[in-house]
Amino acid sequence: MLHRKECSNGMRIVLEEVTSVRSVTIGIWVKTGSREEDPELNGISHFIEHMLFKGTEKRTPQEIAEAFDGIGGEINAFTSKEYTCFYAKVLDTHKELAIEILADMLLHSTFDQTEIEREKKVVLEEINMTEDTPDDIIHDLLAEAAYQQHPIAKPILGSKSTINQMSKQDMLHYLQNQYIPENIVVSIAGNANHNFINTVEETLTVQRNETLSDRKYLSKPTFHPKQISQTKETEQAHLCLGYEGVRIEDELEYAMLIVNNVLGGSMSSRLFQEIREKTGMAYSIFSYHSAFIDSGMLTIYAGTAKNQLYIVQDKIHHIVDQLRKNGLTTKEWENSKEQLKGLYMLSLESTNSKMGRNARNELLSQGHPSLDDIMKKIDDVKLDDVQYILDTLQSDSVATAIISPE
C-alpha cells in the first residue's frame, strides 16, 4: 500500500508498506543535480553530497559511519544530472534512528573548512579514477558531443579546476537555493506503517526560503549530431553513439524501451548477437536509454581493438539501418514486451528499488502508476509507435564519442 503526504512547507513524503520484510529503506531525494549548476561551479551538487557525510553539529564523520555500522545498517548517496539522493537501509526497529541521522546530515552539517579541503582531494582522486576508466568517461564525452554547452552536457563530478575553486560560501549558497522543501521528497519502503510519515515530518523540518532570487528556469537541451574524439593510451578503442531519445513520461517511452531492448539491451539483442557472439569483435557492447525531464538519449557503447574500431562502427550503423528499414521480427516483438515486463517486475523485489521508483515518480513525474498500469502500457505499445522511434535513428542524426590510442 502506498501512502503520500504533502507537508505544509511543500516537502512530500511517500511510503510503501511492505509487511513481508523486516527492513526499511529511507531515501531523501533533492531535485537538483549537475544541470542546475553554473559552469564555474560544475560538480558542486556532487561535492555537497560528499560533505553531508563529513560531520554535523553533534556527530563527527566517524560517528555517522559507526551509527549505521552499529545497527547493521547501510548508508549511501548518489548524484545524477537532475537529482541527488541520500539513503539508508536498516532493520525496521531502527528506522527512527535512521531518519534522525539523515535529517541531522541534511539540516546540521557543519561544512568545516578542514573537511572541505580534505574532501577536495578525495573528489579529485575520484575524477582521476574516472579518467583512468575510458569505458566510463566516454559517456561524459558523448553528452558533451550531443548537448554542447548546455549544463546537462557537463560531468556530474565536475572538473579539477571547478573543484579547486569552490568555496564554503558557494556550497552554503547552493544549499540555500536548492535544498528547499519544494525540491525534497522523502521516500520510504519496507516494514513501516503510515504513522511513520508523521515521524519523518516532525524530524525533517526544512524551512522555506522566501528569497530565491537566483532560481533558474531549466532550458531544454538541443541535441547535436556532433563528434568528439580523444587520444588516450588504452588497450582498447571505445565508441559511443547517441541518438535523440524521449523525455520522462513521453507517450513513446515504452516504445523506446522496446527498441532499446531489441537493439542492445539484452543478450539476445541484435548488437550483442551480431558483434560479440558472431564476430567476437567486442566483449562489451550494449545500448541504454536515458530519460530526463525534457529530453532523452539512446546510447550505444562498444569496446574493441583499435584496428577494429571503424569496422565495428560500420557494423553498428548497418545493424541500426537494417532495424530501421525492416522493423522488428515477430519473435522480437513478442519477446521484447515479455522481457520488458519481466525485467520491470524483477527490479522491484527489494525495498531499495521500491523506494527509488516511488521517489522518482513523485519527484519527476508527479504520478504513481501501479504495476498493472505499467504492464498495460507495455502491452498497449503498437508497432507503429516502435517504427516511429526507429525512423528517428538516422545515420546523419547520431552524436559520436571516441577514445582511442591513435
Q: How far apart are CA 298 and CA 296, in angstroms?
A: 7
Q: How far apart are CA 67 and CA 58, in angstroms?
A: 12
Count CA atoms within 13 Å of residue 47 on its CB side.
34
Which phi and psi (to 5°) does residue 280 adopt? 65, 25
Using CB atoms within 10 Å of the CB of residue 18, give its burial: 0 to 12 exposed, 13 to 18 middle, 19+ buried: buried
Give the cell for residue 18: 511492505
Q: Number of helices (H) and strands (E), helices first, in the chain?
A: 15, 11
184-202 burial by CB neighbour count: b if 16+ within 10 A, else e?
bbbbbbbbbeeebbebbbe
How many other CB atoms are there within 10 angstroms of residue 360's CB atom? 18
Query: How far apart, in Å, do the first and last CA atoms of the chain sit?
Result: 56
- 210 has catalytic annotation: no
Cβ pair 256, 247 in contact under 8 A: no
Q: How far apart are CA 211 and CA 247, in angstroms?
A: 31
Give the cell for residue 88: 539508508
Give the cell for residue 15: 511510503
With DSSP H G I counted as helix, E B as strand and the rest as coil, what are the percentages for the chain, rounded to 5? 50, 20, 30
DSSP one-letter code for 43: T
Q: Quickly tell me which residue has 530501421 as its cell.
A: 324
Provide the strand spans (E) within 249-397.
285-291, 296-304
Q: Quickly tell me which residue has 498500469 as its cell.
A: 373
Q: How far apart are CA 222 and CA 23, in angstroms?
A: 43
Find the catalytic residue in 16, 36, 37, 49.
49
Active site residues: 49
